[in-house]
Amino acid sequence: MNGWKNDKRWSDRFIPEIKSVLAQHLISESPIEEDQEHNTDLIVLTLRPYRVACRIRRHEYYQNYKNEFTIRAGRPSGCKTELQKIIEGWGDYFFYGFSDQVEKNLLSYFLGDLKVFRIWFNRRICMNKGNVPGKSKNNKDNSSYFMAFDKDDLPNDFLITCKIQ
């Protein structure tokens, strides 16, 4: 099994917990009139699809990198990466977290607004004369590289929610 499939299988174990966190922000209690007249207890705030990119890192990285998040920015193959897709306008939210030591639950996470990220990213490129913000970091096996961003560098409205340990 290739690296991507292994990584996907590992990170997918956190999908139920991620869905639970997202429900707190995408589903709300309905007004009493909705319950009384339309049999509605919960309401999804919109019918349009929301696209959520998810990235979970292993616990071993938490201590040194708990305030940063990484987005894949390049592959030797030249295939489109997460950063390119985000900048093109794909994705509404970004869920990023770290696993606990036993890799069963999320130790820490945040939900970020990708619209805010895109605006910040493009403004930084303009302010820095074409230089892309963030720090470039190679994957251990050189199969790709990432851009690392410090959460504190982004506008306050980027973070929708976060759990920090």
Residue 3 has pLDDT above 70, yes or no: no
Look at residue 77 and tell me if it is in a domain.
yes
Residue 35 has pLDDT above 90, yes or no: no
Look at residue 32 and tell me if it is in a domain.
no
Look at residue 25 and tell me if it is in a domain.
no
Note the pTM of the prediction, 2 decimals.
0.83
Q: Which residue has the tokens 């920090």?
A: 164
Which tens digit of pLDDT belongs to each residue from 110-149? 999 999 999 999 999 999 888 999 999 988 888 889 999 9
What is the rounded distance in angstroms from the CA atom of residue 139 to the CA atom of residue 142?
A: 5
* Tally of domains within the chain: 1
Domain of residue 91 covers 49-163
Look at residue 120 and tell me if it is in a domain.
yes
Q: Output the pLDDT for position 47.
A: 61
Look at residue 15 and tell me if it is in a domain.
no
Which tens digit of pLDDT belongs to each residue from 76-121? 888 888 999 999 999 999 999 999 999 999 999 999 999 999 999 9
